[in-house]
């Protein structure tokens, strides 16, 4: 998350487990290197211990090879989750040199970019969501690539967050404050929930 050392992005995560005594089935990873960042949000089917097992398996695959393409990572996660109940997954690979992000969502994990430059006529972009379940039914992956500008705000949410959360969002707050507010206002009480908010700094925020 945000720290004293300059980073390519600042981010915050808010999460809640339906069953407080059991690990949430909604998990995330953020892996940064000198040239980019991999963000993954995994939602194990259902909730409870078995959902957490599936989500952990997906996150472990992502953290083992964060520089792979998102297409390859989706395929590797699919293989790793075949003995679990499965998961839905959003992956985003942010490239500081190319000033672009390649992302894909298999299943109902929502992702959007709120643009820092609102005068361009392109205020927001949404991830293209493909049907399927990682570990059981994988469609042919079709990632898309979109430009990234300094100050762009990324929001990724599992289906434990109700739709419409982008309306009235306070962009001037820190990513953690935004994530906490979205969970409090839009989090469902019937499912695990996770929302990740990140502000892109690009190379302007990276250590020299």
| pLDDT tens-digit map of 158-187 | 999 999 998 888 889 999 999 999 999 999
- In this structure, are residues 35 and 100 in contact, taking their beta carbons and an 8 Å threshold? no
Domain range for 194: 10-203
Give the model's pLDDT for residue 37: 97
Pick the residue with more confidence: 1 or 16? 16
Comparing 23-37, 39-53, 119-133, 137-151, which segment has the lowest mean pLDDT?
119-133
The number of domains in the chain is 1
pTM: 0.93
Asked if the structure places residue 175 within a domain, the reply is: yes
* pLDDT tens per residue, range 94-125: 999 999 999 999 999 999 999 998 776 678 89
Per-residue confidence band for 192, with pLDDT thresholds at 50, 70 and 90 = very high
**Average pLDDT value for the chain:** 91
Asked if the structure places residue 172 within a domain, the reply is: yes
Give the model's pLDDT for residue 20: 73
Asked if the structure places residue 3 within a domain, the reply is: no
Asked if the structure places residue 149 within a domain, the reply is: yes
Asked if the structure places residue 4 within a domain, the reply is: no
Comparing 75-79, 134-138, 201-205, which segment has the lowest mean pLDDT?
201-205
Q: What is the DSSP string of the chain?
A: ---SS--SEEEEEEEE-SSTTS--SEEEEEEE-SSEEEEEEEEESSSSHHHHHHHHHHHHHHHH-TTS-HHHHHHHHHHHTTTSS-EEEEEEEEETTTTEEEEEEESS-EEEEE-S-TTSS--EEE--EE--BBTTB-PPP--EEEE--TT-EEEEE-TTB-S-TTTT--TTS-HHHHHHHHHHHHB-SSS-EEEEEEEE-GGGGS--
Asked if the structure places residue 5 within a domain, the reply is: no
Asked if the structure places residue 66 within a domain, the reply is: yes
Per-residue confidence band for 3, with pLDDT thresholds at 50, 70 and 90 = very low
Return the CATH number at 15.
3.60.40.10
Pick the residue with more confidence: 156 or 169? 156
Taking each helix axis as running N to C, give the angle between helix 70-80 and helix 49-64, from 0 to 180 degrees, rounded to the nearest 10.
Answer: 140
Give the model's pLDDT for residue 2: 46
Asked if the structure places residue 2 within a domain, the reply is: no
Give the model's pLDDT for residue 21: 60
């Amino acid at each position: 998350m945000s720290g004293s050392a300059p980073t390519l992005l600042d981010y915050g995560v808010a999460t809640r487990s339906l069953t407080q005594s059991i690990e949430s089935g909604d998990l995330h990873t953020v892996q940064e290197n000198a040239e980019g960042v991999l963000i993954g949000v995994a939602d194990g089917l259902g909730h409870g211990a078995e959902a957490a097992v599936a989500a952990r398996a997906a996150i472990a695959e992502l953290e083992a090879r964060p520089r792979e393409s998102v297409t390859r990572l989706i395929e590797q996660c699919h293989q790793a989750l075949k003995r679990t109940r499965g998961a839905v997954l959003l992956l985003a690979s942010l490239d500081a040199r190319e000033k672009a992000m390649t992302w894909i969502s298999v299943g109902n994990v929502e992702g959007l970019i709120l643009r820092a430059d609102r005068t361009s006529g392109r205020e927001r972009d949404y991830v293209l969501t493909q049907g399927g379940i990682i570990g059981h039914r994988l469609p042919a992956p079709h990632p898309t690539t979109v430009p990234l500008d300094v100050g762009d705000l990324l929001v990724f949410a599992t289906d434990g967050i109700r739709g419409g959360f982008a309306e009235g969002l306070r962009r001037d707050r820190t990513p953690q404050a935004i994530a906490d507010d979205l969970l409090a206002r839009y989090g469902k009480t019937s499912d695990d929930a996770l929302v990740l908010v990140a502000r892109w700094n690009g190379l302007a925020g990276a250590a020299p």
